[in-house]
Structure 1
Amino acid sequence: MQLGKPVVELSGPWLARQKSRLRERRGHERLWAEGGGPDHRPVFTDRVIAALVILRFQLPHGVLAAFYGVDRSTVTRAVHEIHPLLAARGFAVPGEGGLRLRTLADVFAYAQARGVELRIDGTEVQVRRPRADKPGRRAFVSGKRKQNTKKASVISDDKGRALWTGAVRPCRMHDQTALKTDGSWDLFTQYPEVKTQVDAGYRGLAKDFPGQVTAPPKKPGKDAPAEETDAWEEARKAQPSAQIPVEHANAEHKQWRPLQRYIGRREYYDETHLAIAGLVSDRTAMR
């Protein structure tokens, strides 16, 4: 990904947010002419670079503060200005110049229009453990990983290019429940030609939309005939192959340090995950 692209893309929204914030703080329009007043330091391009470096390597803010010769709080403020803008960019579409997918409805509309078969899966990342006296602490405890994690749902095409990441939630919420809460059930009804491959965790989705969603069959009972058991075994072995593209999409996201283990505050995890996923999509869309 070229640096100039996000700098140009984010400069307008960033400047508009700064003007809005200052207007709200003053309570009136600016009195000085444009260009008056103190300059932003570091400049906008350096703020974007600092935010991207922290996204990629999860460096302490104090390291970049020392590099730019500013206070640590200045770098922290710059990061919290840039990361939400990166998270709101959406996902680049393969072969479609400036088109970006920002919502789940965009993904379904694109898949139906282009005949793309989707892949759906969930991913989880270890986060900070909540304080012992904090309500809802158990919601972050993963029964699978025995750690405190947050989950996200990922949708990719059959070539492993992520088209959407969202439904970020504490790990106790099931993958299928998160998608249902985000409105995927209504979208499958609205876009009846969309096809998707899922794993066993989304078997309820396949049950409700048998012509659109393909999931591995349920394991037959002990008294089932040999033919049924053999058919299930064959389908069970074929299913991971169908899910490989979305697993590759997850793996590309986790090359970025924050999605290997997130050490920041949990309330900033969502925008961090979405910002990384959007940046990765810029590269994968060129495949």
Structure 2
Amino acid sequence: MRQYLGRTALSHRLFTGLQRRRLGSLIAELAEAWMAAEEGRLHERRGRSRLRAAGAGPNHQLVFTDRVIATLVVLRFQLPHGALALLYGVDRSTITRAVHEVRPLLAARGFAVPGQGDLRLRTLADVFAYAAAEDVELRLDGTEVRVRRPRANEPGRRAFVSGKMRQNTKKATVVTDGQGRTLWAGAFRPGRMHDQTVVKTEGICDLFEQYPQVRAKVDAGYRGLAKQFPDQVQAPPLKPKKGAPPEDIAAWDAARHQQSSERICVEHANAEHKQWRTLQHYLGRREYFDETYAAVAALVSDRAAER
């Protein structure tokens, strides 16, 4: 009875962030991959093929539907696993295991494409190929999320200290179209790394050379990229030097406002991601941050693609 009540209440859109119609589609989409992974895990544990028919033996304490719902609630509100375990009447480790099983499946889904429900973008190369084929102008931005501070004397501890936020952060790069719909989120790096360095280590320069027709708007943090690809990347104009004529300053200000208004949609996409509390201040282990961000961004892209 407790498990039934937990499923009924927690499946509401307020807890999962998804309408029940979309939640049902998501569960059906993930079920096959989860069953294959579960069968592989059992086969590895047995060391041989099963002797009894599928479905024999004890049932799961938490069925797959509840595992997906519990994972979505954890991603959306960062609830302690013990609190969810109390609602479902299971041990805390059962919820933890469910999250570790379902979260990678969510992260591996890729990002929805507007008007093409059967197409998912999983890499930055996919995004550039899509933008070139559909003549989409991209918006590119980096965003930071606070994470746990590494232990004292741990190698690379200073790499997470952001020069901008003065906090321990991890950085993600987000790519959207002109309407702010998330097409890709990735290139996860420690917060100390510069936004431009992040995308260059992801191979974006090679992609701009491979797809010369692709255009992108960026902020001032990518000015070097705009200088390297002036016909493809547009950054805010440089401020006139001191003592410049008033008309030059007025023209610069107008151009800056125009470029900002055309690029602001990617900031709105970042804000959509951070409506999920787990990306406002990530309290989990840093090694799971990349997977968590990709899972949330993929779920947000499903909703954004319908706009």
Q: Which TM-score band applies after superposition, normalised by the shorter structure? A: over 0.9
* 2:155 counterpart SS class: coil
Residue 273 of structure 2 is aligned to residue 253 of structure 1: yes
Alignment of 1:25-104 (within 5 A): 25-104=45-124
Say whether the 8 Å CA contact 2:273–2:279 is kept in structure 1: yes
Structure 2 residue runs of 5 or longer lacking an equivalent are: 1-17
TM-score by length of 1: 0.96
CA distance in 1, matches of 2:183, 2:243: 42
For 1:206, the equivalent position in structure 2 comes to 226
Any idea what SS the aligned residue of 1:119 has? Answer: strand
Q: In the alignment, what sits opposite 2:6? A: none
- The alignment's TM-score, normalised by the length of structure 2, stands at 0.90
Verify: 1:14 aligned to 2:34, yes or no: yes
Deviation, structure 1 residue 220: 3.4
Aligned to 1:190: 210
Distance 2:112 2:243 in 1: 50
CA distance in 2, matches of 1:239, 1:213: 12
Counterpart check, 1:145 vs 2:165: yes
CA distance in 1, matches of 2:171, 2:58: 42
1:52-100 deviation digits (Å, cap 9, x = unpaired)? 1111111000011111111101100100000010001011111112211
Query: RMSD across aligned C-alpha pairs, in angstroms?
Result: 1.4
Identity %: 69
Tell me the SS of whatever aligns to 2:252: helix
Asked if 1:222 is matched to 2:222, the reply is no
**What's the CA shift for 1:228?**
4.3
Gaps of 5+ in 1: none
1:27 shift after superposition: 2.1
- Give me the whole-angstrom Cα distance separating, in 2, the residues matched to 1:231 and 1:136: 45
Contact 2:174 2:266 in 1 (8 A): yes
Among 272, 282, 285, which residue is 2:302 paired with?
282
* Residue 111 (structure 1) aligns with: 131
Aligned length: 287
**What amino acid is the match of 2:169?**
T
* Matches of 1:153 and 1:225, distance apart in 2: 37
4+ residue segments displaced more than 6 Å = none
